[in-house]
Amino acid sequence: MSDTLAAPSLPLLLARQQAAFRAEGPVSAATRRDRLQRVIDMLVKHNDAFCQAMGDDFGGRPAVFSMMNDVAGSLGSLKHARDHLEAWMPDQTRPSVAPFDNFGATAWVKYQPKGVVGIIGTWNAPLFTLLSPLASVFAAGNRAVLKPSEIAPRTAELLARVVPEFFQPEELAVVTGGPEVASEFSRQAWNHLVFTGSTRVGKLIMKAAAENLVPVTLELGGKSPVLVGSGADIANAAERIAVGKSANSGQLCVSPDVVWVHESQAEALLASLQSHYSGLFPSLADNADVVPVVNAQHFARVESYVADAGARGARVVIAGDWPDAASVSTRRMPLRIVVNPAPESEIARNEIFGPALVLRTYTDIAQAVDELNAGERPLALYYFGTDATEQAWVLNHTLSGGVSINDVTMHPALHDAPFGGVGASGMGHYHGHEGFLEFSHARSVYSAGAHDPRREWGMLPPYNENFVQMIRGVVTG
């Protein structure tokens, strides 16, 4: 198979995979484990090359971060699926229809693979957003075609080269290309389609998939908020927020975007954020631990958000080394904290997806929750505090894709719990048993007993009065 499949080849590739799926019949646990193991083997063999490719795509992303986030993160999903899929596969017995269950009628749910799944990844985690959902897809017995992001072209090209070492194209294939290929990809008649990216593009993906009634899993992100309760340990909260925000320089879909803190604790939190972030990155331009903003376009976008907020009167606090010409040329940014920006400012309205953070103050945490609930539901929500009553209240009065308590960005690492969004932050999920269910068809099966009592009970035409009264009793009873 060639490294790049042009858009016109997609229908043929999909048809070949679907034909192979139909010819295969039931997909055994051994086959599913073997497919997952081959992805694991591929990652282990080419770990260093993948880390180098991701580093080159970002213009200096630390290899250790790529190894931790994309390689080890994907391996965690793949190994968990490999080790647990056999327990997920068996039919589930369900209660049958009364009174026929008294005559031997039974029922169960059979979980079967859907067929061929298309997976569109994104640039900020160019391997994880492809291979973590693939773990659930393979565990459920499906075949797949991957579409890596063109914004990480070296990673995409490497993946397209190494997948054929371990898989025939009828089993797993890679399609590379730009937006026109992604558009064509989303219009195919997949049996399921996965997309990770922005809400704006997610709407286009869903619209295209609707033409063929393709079910979708969308992981979209949003302005993931942090609620710092009045009883929180400010220094601990600041350190964990700084660590989470620094990961990939804020270029993560679950990166903290806006922090809410009581007005009496705002200055202490600001100072602690500055201190902890500076401790992580004492220098900027020459610091190989600082992940660059992925390209000049995104660098300019984040800069414009901060500048717009400042021009509208917001206070901007810097955490970390001051930027200079060298840091700008390497696209390494310090963390800018924008305090109480105007609601109409760009940084208040858009997901930041970079090294900037909004800080807002409240007088009552219910005020912050009301403002959060007035907006779109986020992919992640974070709460810091020691008050169990307040924590329960926050969880019961908010809705988000997932939650981390007294930390940030940690719940996506739960391999045995679903990861996904809600509303504008996405739909569907992968990871664990719920991921297996996402990519399986739950098929209800009813099996009749040997004896059918309906005629002797007057349940078939011509209906008698006894049957009418029996049904009336069912309705009124």
pLDDT tens-place string over residues 148-176: 999 999 999 999 999 999 999 999 999 99
- Residue 102: inside a domain: yes
Residue 227 in this model has a pLDDT that exceeds 70: yes
CATH number at residue 90: 3.40.605.10
What are the backbone angles phi and psi of residue 109, rounded to the nearest 5°?
-110, 130
User: Is residue 261 located within the same domain as residue 212?
Assistant: no
pLDDT tens-place string over residues 315-373: 999 998 888 888 889 999 999 999 999 999 999 999 999 999 999 999 999 999 999 99
pLDDT tens-place string over residues 67-76: 999 999 999 9
DSSP calls for 35-47? HHHHHHHHHHHTH
The structure tokens listed for 205 are 């993906």
Q: Which of 253, 346, 351, 438 is catalytic?
A: 253
- Residue 346: inside a domain: yes
Query: In the block, which residue shows the tokens 């039931």?
Result: 26
User: Is residue 307 located within the same domain as residue 396?
Assistant: yes
User: Is residue 312 located within the same domain as residue 435?
Assistant: no
User: Is residue 28 located within the same domain as residue 62?
Assistant: yes
User: Is residue 267 located within the same domain as residue 346?
Assistant: yes
Residue 182 in this model has a pLDDT that exceeds 70: yes
Number of domains in the chain: 2
The structure tokens listed for 38 are 């081959």
| pLDDT value of position 324 | 84
Q: Residue 83's domain spans which residues?
A: 7-220+428-441
Residue type, 23: A
User: Is residue 190 located within the same domain as residue 278?
Assistant: no
- Residue 395: inside a domain: yes
User: Is residue 214 located within the same domain as residue 279?
Assistant: no
User: Is residue 183 located within the same domain as residue 332?
Assistant: no
Residue 266 in this model has a pLDDT that exceeds 50: yes
- Residue 468: inside a domain: no
Is residue 239 part of the annotated active site? The answer reads no
Is residue 51 part of the annotated active site? The answer reads no
**How far apart are the C-alpha atoms of 461 and 477, rounded to whole Å?**
24
- Residue 49: inside a domain: yes
User: Is residue 287 located within the same domain as residue 177?
Assistant: no
User: Is residue 34 located within the same domain as residue 54?
Assistant: yes
Q: Which of 171, 219, 351, 438 is catalytic?
A: 219
Number of H helices, E strands in the chain: 18, 16
Strands 172-174 and 143-147: parallel
- Residue 448: inside a domain: no
CATH number at residue 247: 3.40.309.10
- Residue 466: inside a domain: no
CA distances from residue 187 to 1, 208, 322, 376 in whole angstroms, order as listed:
22, 5, 46, 27
User: Is residue 352 located within the same domain as residue 380?
Assistant: yes
**How far apart are the C-alpha atoms of 325 and 285, rounded to whole Å?**
9
The structure tokens listed for 459 are 């349940």
User: Is residue 179 located within the same domain as residue 316?
Assistant: no
- Residue 454: inside a domain: no
Sign of CA dihedral 289, 291, 296, 300: negative
